[in-house]
Amino acid sequence: MKNLIDIKDLSTQEIQELIEVAKDIMQHPQNYVEKCKHKKLATLFFEPSTRTRLSFEAAMMELGGNVIGFSSASSSSTAKGESVSDTIRTIGCYSDIIAMRHPKEGAPLVASIKSTVPIINAGDGGHNHPTQTLTDLLTISCEKQRLNNLTIGLCGDLKFGRTVHSLITAMSRYENIKFILISPEELKIPEYVKKEILEKHQIQYIETTSLEEHMKDLDILYMTRVQKERFFNEEDYVRLKDYYILNNSKLTTAKQDLCIMHPLPRVNEISTEVDDDPRAKYFNQVRYGKYIRMALILKMLEIK
Amino acid sequence: MNIDSIKNGIVLDHIQAKKGMEIYNTLNLGELDCSVAIITNARSKKMGRKDIIKIDKNIDLDLDILGYIDPNITINIIKNDIRTQKYHLKLPQEIVGIIKCKNPRCITSIEPELKQTFILTNEKEKTYRCKYCETLKED
């Protein structure tokens, strides 16, 4: 694997291998502390994202490697008008692997075409964020001990939420998956996701505006934030941002082994009272994110 | 109405009625140094009405562009008054430099040397998506 731009770049076998390596890292971290010695990861964040950038950097450091990079476009040559292609060709001379976030959709694909070192897409606008999806898959695998036979509730912004689209794409490859798609009318899942993924793979799904209606059936509840940066119109954002708020009373009918996930950061969509519920797994999810990124870096650098 | 037959050249037949001028302009046929005839609204048993373009010279045509505009066109190659080849078009797998991505968040909106490229993602429904941001081509 040369690059990871889209979760579809990975076969289910490759995903399984990454999950197994990540689990092994969790169990035997001491075996990995020098795996990337003398290797450099460049984190090119043309758009700020503390969480993803630090996750990549922590992952590389725990593998014994080094990190270079920038955390906003204003501190890169982009501010001087340099193209993505030129930036990538330059950074490739200093690093062994690049993790890149860019507000423009498709920028990591352009980078991968020009780059001499592997490119990991760390998020491109509202388009793809494959390492979040890998994080979600590792979380599900660890918390539910399976990736099949699951009823998954996806709640919030299903229109612009890239994590949701990627998760649906990834999970549609596994057997007996059912989705409950919970969103306000304005933020419903796009038609092309229904047509080209769900219906194409004959995946069962229900669309609803009610968070409580199917709560009792869920194995996983994946909450999402309504993201201000995806809206051109401030009014729409203000009207929709607090549409769903998960609290303890809404969880009364939920299964005892429900797994509550969120890609974070949250704003109001999960009340802090839920944090103490053992079913809340969103901070575990952050930790899993670091381990799956460690596994990914090893795979892309072809280090055993 | 009579249009002379051509001795050596190309006849684009079965063009969807009213699409002839679009093809003429897109392929820059007006810049050729030979006669080009456009027949619009010709009677057709198969199509009811159709357009036809006759080019009085054998030139290299961009079949991808033609296939994208109208995949049902028939191309006839004429040599010494005889049709030597006849072939049908199909939707191209990739269209480069013809359609512009309308997504303001697409990398093509800021990367100057990047060629606008659309990929055929669903042949049955003639769906094309931007290679970079996967936005659907607007009709």
pLDDT (tens digit, 9 = 90+) per residue, A149-179? 999 999 999 988 888 999 999 999 999 999 9
The verdict on residue A262 lying in a domain is: yes
Q: To the nearest whole number, what is the mean pLDDT of chain A?
A: 93
What are the structural domain ranges in chain B? 9-88, 94-130
Residue A154: beta bridge partners?
A181, A222
Quick one: average pLDDT of A7-28? 97
Grade residue A1 by pLDDT with cuts at 50, 70 and 90. low
The verdict on residue A2 lying in a domain is: no
Same domain? For A154 and A266 the reply is yes
CATH number, position A32: 3.40.50.1370
* Residue in A80, A105, A128, A162 to test binding to B, most B beta-carbons within 10 Å: A105
Structure confidence at residue B122 (pLDDT):
86
Quick one: average pLDDT of B60-89? 91
Structure confidence at residue B2 (pLDDT):
58
CATH tag, B9-88: 3.30.70.140
DSSP structural state of residue A213: T
Grade residue B1 by pLDDT with cuts at 50, 70 and 90. low
pLDDT of A217 strictly over 60: yes
Same domain? For A138 and A275 the reply is yes
Chain A touched by B54 (CB under 8 Å): no
* Residue in B107, B122, B128 to test binding to A, most A beta-carbons within 10 Å: B107
The verdict on residue A141 lying in a domain is: yes
The verdict on residue A14 lying in a domain is: yes
Task: For residue B112, report the phi and psi dihedrals to the nearest 5 degrees.
Answer: -60, -35
Q: How many beta-carbon pairs under 8 angstroms link A with B?
A: 52
Structure confidence at residue A77 (pLDDT):
66
Contact A105 B133 (CB under 8 A): yes
Same domain? For A143 and A247 the reply is yes
Cα-trace Rg, chain A:
19
**Cβ neighbours of A166 in B, within 8 Å:** none
Same domain? For A252 and A276 the reply is yes
pLDDT, one tens digit per residue, over A80-138 is: 678 999 999 999 999 999 999 999 999 999 999 999 999 999 999 888 999 999 999 99
The residues of A annotated as belonging to the active site are 51-52, 80, 101, 129
Q: Least CB-CB distance to A107: which of B107, B121, B134?
A: B107
Same domain? For A104 and A18 the reply is yes
pLDDT of A75 strictly over 80: no
Contact A110 B131 (CB under 8 A): no
Distance to chain B for A281, nearest Cα, Å: 31
pLDDT of A231 strictly over 80: no
**Cβ neighbours of A103 in B, within 8 Å:** 105
Grade residue B4 by pLDDT with cuts at 50, 70 and 90. low
Task: For residue A129, report the phi and psi dihedrals to the nearest 5 degrees.
Answer: -155, 70
**Cβ neighbours of A191 in B, within 8 Å:** none
pLDDT of A14 strictly over 80: yes
Cβ atoms of A108 and A81 closer than 8 Å: no
Same domain? For A151 and A176 the reply is yes
What is the percentage of chain A residues whose pLDDT exceeds 90? 80
Distance to chain A for B25, nearest Cα, Å: 31
Q: To the nearest whole number, what is the mean pLDDT of chain B?
A: 91
* Residue in A127, A194, A232 to test binding to B, most B beta-carbons within 10 Å: A127
Residue predicted with more confidence, B69 or A253: A253
Distance to chain B for A168, nearest Cα, Å: 16
Same domain? For A159 and A260 the reply is yes
pLDDT, one tens digit per residue, over B19-63 is: 999 999 989 999 999 999 999 999 998 899 999 999 999 999 888
Same domain? For A291 and A238 the reply is no
The verdict on residue A92 lying in a domain is: yes
Total domains in the fold of chain A: 2
Same domain? For A176 and A78 the reply is no
Same domain? For A144 and A232 the reply is yes
Same domain? For A153 and A277 the reply is yes
C-alpha distances in angstroms, A271 versus A172, A240, A264, A276, B41? 30, 17, 13, 10, 66
- Residue B68: both structure tokens together: 């994208």
The helix (run of H) or strand (run of E) holding residue A107 is helix A107-114
Cβ atoms of B91 and B123 closer than 8 Å: yes
Chain A touched by B111 (CB under 8 Å): yes
Q: The complex's ipTM?
A: 0.86
Chain A touched by B108 (CB under 8 Å): yes
Grade residue A69 by pLDDT with cuts at 50, 70 and 90. very high
The verdict on residue A90 lying in a domain is: yes
In terms of residue numbers, what domain contains A108?
7-128+287-300
How many CB atoms sit inside 10 A of residue A89's CB? Answer: 14
Contact B111 A84 (CB under 8 A): yes
Same domain? For A108 and A237 the reply is no
